[in-house]
Amino acid sequence: MAYDGITMAAVCHELNRILAGSKVERVYQPQPMEIVLHLRCRDTTRTLICSAQSRHPRVHLTHFRADNPPSPPAFCMLLRKHLSGARLLSVEQTSLERILIIHFRSLDDFGEGTKKLLICEIMGKHSNVILSAPDDCQNLRVLGSAKTITETMSRRRLIMPGEQYEYPPSQEKLSLSEITEELLASTLAKMEASTPEQMLVNTVMGLGPDTAREIIYRAAGEENIHPVEIARSLTMQLNNIRKIIESCSFEPCVAFDAYSNPLVVSPIKLKAFNREQITEFPTINEALDLFYTAILHKQAENELRRQLKQIVESTLAKAKKKRRLQQEELDTMKDADKFRLYGEMLTAALHQTYTGMKEVEVINYYSPDQETMRIPLDSSRSPQDNVRRYFKKYRKLKDGKVFLQQRLEETLIEINYLESLQFTIVNADYAVLLEIKEEMIQADLIRQKKSKKSAEILASQPLHFISADGIDIFVGRNNKQNDRLTLKTASSYDTWLHTKDIPGAHVIVKSSNPPETTLREAAKLAVLHSKAAASSNVPVDYTLVKHVRKPKGAKPGMVIYDNHHTIYITAD
């Protein structure tokens, strides 16, 4: 969703009503391109976010509290110097441009009142937050900015301390106040754009893609038609938008998809969506706060999932390579018994050998037919040295084989654990991902950065279902949750289920002898929440919780069990 000029007009109106006369208490800069002001109003403290991040630039009131860096950046220190204790006088928007100017009055070092302006330019990748003040000639001078624009970056417009502030170049679009049917039609006819809404965005000041799409829907419904052909209807709808802005009769709302993910936030009523998709809000600031909090939460969730998945897949690839090399080395150790046989047969035939021989032919006394065998010799060694050499090779391979088999078993356990992590990461929500991250830190898969304070991670809850027989079924969503569910929450006589030899969730049925229907439902949940979700005829083991135990030193989610039965299930 684009934060357009009409949305900014609604925000500007509300900020003037809510924040005029408020006092700046604190200034933070949680992100390089994001400023947060805590403003003390008459009855409460409000938080204003001014973000110039390229993906989601915006200005609005918020309830979200972001983590701040250990030490404030230079621009934050500059803002604290000039705005701490300042009074917010007013908020203004030039025409319907996406430039919001917040006027402050503060005291200088001599105790005299001075004006300061915080200019928020919300223009995609060109967004910026600029602190300025009028000079003796009443020209605005830049004091500092979130993003510095030097001569090498732009020849037209410099944003540097001491430079005169200049507004961004005008977009040469039609103002809502001057639109007529003829003017709109003639301007649209000259436009070259891929979609009707983009043509309207390029023509009329203040419109973003979502607002343009809504206006076209109001003018033509779902009919796919060129904007020039509906110029009259478009003019009427644009005039209605103008009246809404002039009268400040906004109707903020957010449209959601079928999965409750926010799609569009708008200061005007959205008629292009079904009624059940729309949630109305008393203020545009509340609508924007919910919308962007949800969007950024989902973005953080996807980014965390990507990072964890990348770490697990990389570690898993290394573990599988290690398993292959260990198995290859183990295969070479099958010759251990051959070297023992060489040593023993050579010992029995010492009287036939002498230094300088390259091989000797001896009788294999272990063979039922007593056939002869040839034993290679090191011609530079004595017969006794050759015997010792073969027995040394035998002991080395035998001892190494035992050690390597132990290492291979450890590697297989590691691979099984990593595959369980890989599975749980895919469908985990943010709370579960944070828990998985903590688990990976404890497993030394992630190096934890040292910090003065560490956020407490609340334990996530397992999924809860009720069977057709009215019996509770719980499904773990990660390894730590599986441990808590099976080893702490469940009672000894609850029924425990898990896919056989396949990474997946622990499933608990709150019954010692569940009916067949409930058992099959629980087994189906075990399959659906496993790596074999797309497979058929999947084996699922089940037993009482008292028969499930965790070996000492085992990784999270790893258990052993006995006294179990197996049921075969195909998930729908």
Question: Cα(57)–Cα(31) distance, rounded to whole angstroms?
Answer: 12
Note the pLDDT of residue 244: 95
CA distances from 341 to 365, 367, 545 (A): 10, 11, 51
The reply to whether 240 and 270 lie within a common domain is: yes
> Is the pLDDT confidence value at 110 over 80?
no
92: left (phi over 0), alpha (psi -120 to 50) or beta: beta
Q: Could you report the per-residue pLDDT of 459-479, keeping only the tens digit for each?
A: 788 999 999 999 999 999 999
The arithmetic mean of pLDDT across residues 429-445, rounded, is 91
* Residue 452 pLDDT level (bands cut at 50, 70, 90): very low
Q: Could you report the per-residue pLDDT of 114-171, keeping only the tens digit for each?
A: 999 999 999 989 999 999 999 878 889 999 999 999 988 887 889 999 999 999 988 8
Q: Establish how many alpha carbons lie within 13 A of residue 329's alpha carbon, considering only the half-sphere containing its beta carbon.
A: 17
User: Which domain CATH number covers 330?
Assistant: 1.10.287
Q: In this prediction, what percent of the chain has a pLDDT beyond 70?
A: 98
Q: Where is 31: in which H helix or E strand?
A: strand 23-31
* Segments forming the whole domain that contains residue 285: 176-292
Is residue 150 in a domain?
no
DSSP string, 470-516: S-EEEE--SHHHHHHIIIIIS-TTSEEEEETTS-B--EEES-SS--H
Is residue 158 in a domain?
no
The encoded tokens of residue 168 equal 């961004």
Q: Could you report the per-residue pLDDT of 218-254, keeping only the tens digit for each?
A: 998 888 888 899 999 999 999 999 999 999 999 999 9
Examine the fold and report which residue of 95, 127, 145 is the final residue of a domain before the chain moves on: 145
Note the pLDDT of residue 449: 67
- What share of residues in the chain are helix, strand, coil (percent, to 5)? 40, 20, 35
Is residue 167 in a domain?
no
* Residue 348 pLDDT level (bands cut at 50, 70, 90): confident
Q: Where is 393: in which H helix or E strand?
A: helix 383-427
The arithmetic mean of pLDDT across residues 196-210, rounded, is 92
User: For residue 120, what are the β-bridge partners?
Assistant: 100, 129
Q: In this prediction, what percent of the chain has a pLDDT beyond 90?
A: 67
The reply to whether 21 and 136 lie within a common domain is: yes
pTM of the predicted structure, to 2 decimals: 0.77
The reply to whether 356 and 471 lie within a common domain is: no
Nearest to 105 by CA among 120, 92, 118, 94: 118
440: left (phi over 0), alpha (psi -120 to 50) or beta: alpha
User: For residue 121, what are the β-bridge partners?
Assistant: 99, 128
> Is the pLDDT confidence value at 43 over 80?
yes
> Is the pLDDT confidence value at 453 over 70?
no
The reply to whether 64 and 191 lie within a common domain is: no
User: For residue 47, what are the β-bridge partners?
Assistant: 38
Nearest to 567 by CA among 526, 528, 535, 538: 538
The number of distinct structural domains making up the chain is 4
Give 465's contacts (C-beta < 8 A, 6+ positions apart).
472, 473, 474, 475, 521, 525
The encoded tokens of residue 444 equal 């030394």
Is residue 418 in a domain?
yes
The reply to whether 313 and 452 lie within a common domain is: yes
Is residue 129 in a domain?
yes
Examine the fold and report which residue of 422, 440, 459 is the final residue of a domain before the chain moves on: 459
Give 530's contacts (C-beta < 8 A, 6+ positions apart).
423, 499, 502, 503, 504, 505, 538
Nearest to 184 by CA among 239, 221, 222: 239
Is residue 226 in a domain?
yes
Tell me which amino acid residue 199 is: M
The reply to whether 313 and 284 lie within a common domain is: no
The arithmetic mean of pLDDT across residues 425-452, rounded, is 85
The reply to whether 121 and 10 lie within a common domain is: yes
Tokens 């189906």 belong to 524
Is residue 20 in a domain?
yes
Tell me which amino acid residue 214 is: E
User: Which domain CATH number covers 93?
Assistant: 2.30.310.10
What is the pLDDT of the chain when averaged over all its residues?
Answer: 91
Q: Establish how many alpha carbons lie within 13 A of residue 361's alpha carbon, considering only the half-sphere containing its beta carbon.
A: 3
Question: Cα(559)–Cα(504) distance, rounded to whole angstroms?
Answer: 12
The arithmetic mean of pLDDT across residues 260-276, rounded, is 93
Q: Establish how many alpha carbons lie within 13 A of residue 343's alpha carbon, considering only the half-sphere containing its beta carbon.
A: 16
Is residue 340 in a domain?
yes
28 three-state secondary structure? strand
The reply to whether 384 and 489 lie within a common domain is: no
The reply to whether 405 and 531 lie within a common domain is: no
> Is the pLDDT confidence value at 367 over 50?
yes
Among 23-37, 222-236, 337-351, 537-551, the minimum mean pLDDT is found in: 337-351
Q: Could you report the per-residue pLDDT of 271-306, keeping only the tens digit for each?
A: 999 999 999 999 999 999 999 999 999 999 999 999
Please list, residue by residue across 106-126, b when 16 or more beta carbons sit within 10 angstroms of its beta carbon and e when fewer do: beeeeeeeeebbbbbbbbeee
The reply to whether 471 and 453 lie within a common domain is: no
The reply to whether 226 and 321 lie within a common domain is: no
The encoded tokens of residue 439 equal 């688990």
Question: Cα(113)–Cα(481) distance, rounded to whole angstroms?
Answer: 59
> Is the pLDDT confidence value at 457 over 70?
no
> Is the pLDDT confidence value at 92 over 50?
yes
The reply to whether 433 and 401 lie within a common domain is: yes
